[in-house]
Structure 1
Amino acid sequence: MKQFALAAATAFFATVAQAQTDVITYTTDESFEDVVFGLENAIVDAGLVVDSVSHVGDMLERTKADVGSDVTIFAHADTYSFCSAAISRRVMEADPMNVVFCPYDIFVIQRPGDDKVTIGFRDYPDGAMQAVEDLLDGIARAAIGLN
């Protein structure tokens, strides 16, 4: 039984380590509101629909005292989730386990006292998932006028 528990713990931590990924970001002088507006338009212009918006910054600010903190991490922080049926099908036909990456997310953040806004997304594994990374890169760049 101890060997099973050790093997399970090792597999869990290996999975956690694999889940940690790099991030691709772009920083701009545009306002947070302008970047969010640009992102929403870029997603729609790509023929996609926003599934959800997570207001991460608001949640962290609202709950900071509840978890014993007084630190404001973000002035603004939102994450937009969406999917592409065509690209998702392609990457999951290549490897059904690519389901772990769906839906796809792009975040927009601004730190307190900073006039810069950052837009970004996770760096996906090489192979089939590069199609998703290319899609997200195009959307993020379009959101801030880099395309």
Structure 2
Amino acid sequence: MKALSFALLMGLASAAWAEGPVTVPFDGSFDDATFAVESAIVGEGLVIDYVSHVGEMLNRTGADVGSDAQIFAAADVFLFCSAVLSREMMEADPMNIMHCPYGIFVAEREGEVMIGYRPYPEGPMKKVEGLLAKIVAEAADQ
């Protein structure tokens, strides 16, 4: 029974992320893109809880795990929440906690800089996705 439950759960998880991330190209440097994203988040009256320097971690640990592949020249993930939207989403379904905090990434790969986020499931979380789309569009236009 546990194996069946796990298989079902993995199938649902795979379906939820099957469409992949939403990405927007950024016409500028990685540093300019991270500044634009930070400014757009703060401009919405939100507080950035944490910036995960994923690119630095991957580049620093590659040799330790037996790889010389460079996945990103640079990559950061900005993590933040909206008290208003988070409350609304979790009042609709307390299990929406799994989507907190929200994240927007900036990545440079093969000379191209992009900004993006993961899509959310149908229902109340689409309101959060709308906020992420607005922030990314604003950052990409700067």
User: Do both share a fold (TM > 0.5)?
Assistant: yes
For residue 106 of structure 1, the aligned residue among 97, 104, 107 is 104
Asked whether the equivalents of residues 26 and 118 of structure 1 are also in contact (C-alpha less than 8 Å), the reply is: yes
TM-superposition CA deviations, 1:65-93 (whole Å, max 9, x none): 11110111111100000000000111111
Cα separation, 1, equivalents of 2:4 and 2:56: 39
- Name the aligned partner's letter for residue 91 of structure 2: E
Instruction: Work out the number of aligned pairs and report it.
Output: 141
Structure 1, unaligned runs of 5 or more: none
Give the match for residue 58 of structure 2. Answer: 60
| Largest Rg, 1 or 2 | 1
For residue 121 of structure 1, the aligned residue among 109, 113, 117 is 117
For residue 27 of structure 1, the aligned residue among 25, 31, 39 is 25
Asked whether the equivalents of residues 48 and 78 of structure 2 are also in contact (C-alpha less than 8 Å), the reply is: yes
Cα separation, 1, equivalents of 2:42 and 2:2: 47
Cα separation, 2, equivalents of 1:7 and 1:122: 27
For normalisation by structure 2, the TM-score amounts to 0.91
Q: Find the residue that maps to 1:144 and give its secondary structure.
A: helix
- Following superposition, the deviation at residue 29 of structure 1 comes to 1.8
Asked whether the equivalents of residues 16 and 121 of structure 2 are also in contact (C-alpha less than 8 Å), the reply is: no
Structure 2, unaligned runs of 5 or more: none
For normalisation by structure 1, the TM-score amounts to 0.88
